[in-house]
Structure 1
Amino acid sequence: MFYRALTLALLLILPSAVQAENYSIGTGGQSGIYYPFGGALAKVWSDKVPDVNVKAEVTAASVENTIKVVRGDMIAGIAMGNVVLDAYNGEGKFRSKMPVKTLFALYPNLVHTLALEKSGIKSLADLKGKRISLGAPASGTAVTAAALLASVGIDVKQDIDAVYLNYGETTNALANGQIDAGFIVGGQGVGAVTQISLTHKVNIIPVSDAESAAFIEKNPAYSQYTIPADVYNNVGAVSTLSVWNVIVVSAKMSDEMAYNLTKSAFENMDDVRKVVKVAEATTPENAHRLAGVPLHPGAQKYLDSLVK
């Protein structure tokens, strides 16, 4: 009798489990913020959205995530706003316009141009002729680094010895003297920068007001930002650039799915904030932070429901 009851219970449970669709959210390297943020969102979506099971996938970040979302390989991806804007307009790394939309903005990414204090590198101009990590291949960091260097007259193919390393590889190479400087474009307090500042004296190279203005004129997804003193060990306040990260999705996503993902994310954002502090910036009020790329109609529907 017991086994018959157990079998019946399993038969009732199994169909719902089988119907759950498996998806992934594209993140980045494990030493950055994208990965834990994506993992926290994946858990919320798996727990709160019916028939959806989401896992966080380690990737090269923004460009890869955007492409895979469009191809249908991922339900969503975390990406830097400038990359998604390029994809929408068919610019930069994208040869044609991509059918992308966003669900909501997450938090601002900051440009960290790192060098060891003993290197003597104190300005962007000092990077000319140096061996520099521009970020992981197909990442938003690499896109930003190349654009920023170009804006100050440095050609990444001719004027520097460029290598492409992820966050952890960049800081390890810096610490071991294998590179002179490296770019990390991540949230304030990003782990890779925090860790190297605890073991080495580092400089975060400032972006001057004039350099910021020239860069923003050509790259309107960015804005000027000052990293407060002591966010990183023994590093004073630094003027730099910021760009918002977003959740990018395919324009073909159903309105119902976009609505459910957005609703469950915002209604459970406190759980995400327990994992990543930068999620404090992930609010309905900040959802539209990336100008130029439309929100998915399903996401907009949820946001509109909050003001009725």
Structure 2
Amino acid sequence: MFKRNLMLALACLLPLSVSAANYSIGTGGQSGIYYPFGGALAKVWSEHVPEVNAKAEVTAASVENTIKVVRGDMIAGIAMGNVVLDAYNGQGKFPSKMPVKTLFALYPNLVHTLTLEKSGINSLADLKGKRVSLGAPGSGTAVTSAALLESIGIDVEKDIKAVYLNYSETTNALANGQVDAGFIVGGQGVGAVTQVALTHKIKVLSISDAESQAFVTANPAYSSYDIPADVYNNVGEVSTLSVWNVLVVNANMDDDMAYNLTKAAYENMGDIRKVVKMAEMTTPQNASRLQGVPLHPGAKKYLDSVSK
């Protein structure tokens, strides 16, 4: 009898001792901006959203994060807008339309086409026949770099010696002479580019107006962007392309959850900006920068409430 009563008593106490549910936020490699952004966001959600205990997960970034959000393995993922747009429309890496929506846009990613100053490579066309890192497998960088090269007539399977490396692997391979050039599609001031520019004389290739216009016409999630001089050590102004990063979620996420996540993020964005400078661009006014993929109704409810 005592044992039975003890079990009943413990059963009554159990709901009080259940911890918050554990969730992952999909980010990217540790040398990019996704990971610290996701870590700061996870801290905010864990502290300010009831029953949520979130952590940042290292991943191959955009494509992997989107797939895992759709599968229900992650509460949210940081991803490049073009990848999420492809998922929503069932294009590119996604054979059918995926149930995705966004909570809000974060900041723009910029195409960095890196090479060493001594390489003799001065344009995208010069990459033909060269050893080129296109980005980590399953990343938005790999999607973008392949599409960009193919838009100027370079077949990534035949015309270059393609390898697939993450940010830090790309800059290490470039510094060690293992590749001739590499792509990093990340926020302005991304750590991997900043670091290699401090130890090696690098070039970030400009994309010509004609190349940019042709690419944007075929890929409307992108726009032209000029990286100011001296963002990176001894690198002048660079004409390139940008695409907004977004926080992608499963379209079937509960409306209250989406509302609470969005509310907590914006009301504590100051804490995130202490960790990630690019979060200065994560504002309600920029929330719907990605055209073509709807905001989650819960997120939209919060955003509508602060825009009045």
Q: Secondary structure at the match of 1:248?
A: strand
Does 1:278 find its partner at 2:274?
A: no
Q: Secondary structure at the match of 2:307?
A: coil
Distance 1:13 1:41, change over 3 A: farther
Query: Is the Cα contact below 8 Å between 1:33 and 1:187 reproduced in 2?
Result: yes
Cα offset for 1:18? 1.6
**Using the alignment, how far apart are the partners of 1:113 and 1:230 within structure 2?**
16
Residue aligning to 2:7: none
Distance 1:173 1:278, change over 3 A: same
**Using the alignment, how far apart are the partners of 2:32 and 2:13 within structure 1?**
38
- Once the two structures are superposed, residues 243-301 of structure 1 have per-residue CA deviations (whole angstroms, 9 ceiling, x without a partner) of 00000000010000000000000000000000000000000000000000000000000
Residue aligning to 2:70: 70
**Using the alignment, how far apart are the partners of 2:237 and 2:162 within structure 1?**
27
Distance 1:12 1:212, change over 3 A: farther
Residue aligning to 1:164: 164
**CA RMSD in angstroms, aligned pairs only:** 1.4
**Using the alignment, how far apart are the partners of 1:228 and 1:185 within structure 2?**
16
Query: Is the Cα contact below 8 Å between 1:16 and 1:51 reproduced in 2?
Result: no
**Using the alignment, how far apart are the partners of 1:16 and 1:81 within structure 2?**
41
Q: Secondary structure at the match of 1:233?
A: coil
Q: TM-score, normalised by structure 1?
A: 0.95
Residue aligning to 2:180: 180
Residue aligning to 1:8: none
**Using the alignment, how far apart are the partners of 1:270 and 1:186 within structure 2?**
21
Q: Secondary structure at the match of 1:182?
A: strand
- Once the two structures are superposed, residues 97-144 of structure 1 have per-residue CA deviations (whole angstroms, 9 ceiling, x without a partner) of 000000000000000000000001010000000000000000000000
**Using the alignment, how far apart are the partners of 1:12 and 1:156 within structure 2?**
62
Distance 1:170 1:259, change over 3 A: same
**Using the alignment, how far apart are the partners of 1:14 and 1:237 within structure 2?**
60
Residue aligning to 2:189: 189
Q: Where in structure 2 are the equivalents of 1:28-177 lying within 5 Å? A: 28-177=28-177
Code of the aligned partner of 1:98 = M
Code of the aligned partner of 1:106 = L
Distance 1:123 1:30, change over 3 A: same
**Using the alignment, how far apart are the partners of 1:38 and 1:159 within structure 2?**
36
**Using the alignment, how far apart are the partners of 1:152 and 1:179 within structure 2?**
21
Q: Where in structure 2 are the equivalents of 1:168-247 lying within 5 Å? A: 168-247=168-247
Distance 1:84 1:289, change over 3 A: same
Question: Percent identity over the alignment?
Answer: 81
- Once the two structures are superposed, residues 183-203 of structure 1 have per-residue CA deviations (whole angstroms, 9 ceiling, x without a partner) of 000000000000000000000
- Once the two structures are superposed, residues 209-237 of structure 1 have per-residue CA deviations (whole angstroms, 9 ceiling, x without a partner) of 11000000000000000000000000000
The runs of at least 4 consecutive aligned structure 1 residues that moved more than 4 Å come to 11-17
**Using the alignment, how far apart are the partners of 2:303 and 2:117 within structure 1?**
46
**Using the alignment, how far apart are the partners of 2:25 and 2:203 within structure 1?**
33
Q: Secondary structure at the match of 1:211?
A: helix
Code of the aligned partner of 1:96 = S
**Using the alignment, how far apart are the partners of 1:44 and 1:31 within structure 2?**
21
Distance 1:202 1:95, change over 3 A: same
Cα offset for 1:19? 4.1
Distance 1:235 1:99, change over 3 A: same
- Ranges in structure 2 where 5+ consecutive residues have no aligned partner: 1-10
**Using the alignment, how far apart are the partners of 1:183 and 1:16 within structure 2?**
50
User: Alignment length, in residue pairs?
Assistant: 299
**Using the alignment, how far apart are the partners of 1:14 and 1:197 within structure 2?**
55
Query: Is the Cα contact below 8 Å between 1:44 and 1:268 reproduced in 2?
Result: yes
- Ranges in structure 1 where 5+ consecutive residues have no aligned partner: 1-10
**Using the alignment, how far apart are the partners of 2:262 and 2:231 within structure 1?**
31
**Using the alignment, how far apart are the partners of 1:230 and 1:186 within structure 2?**
17
Cα offset for 1:307? 2.5
Residue aligning to 2:3: none
Residue aligning to 2:295: 295
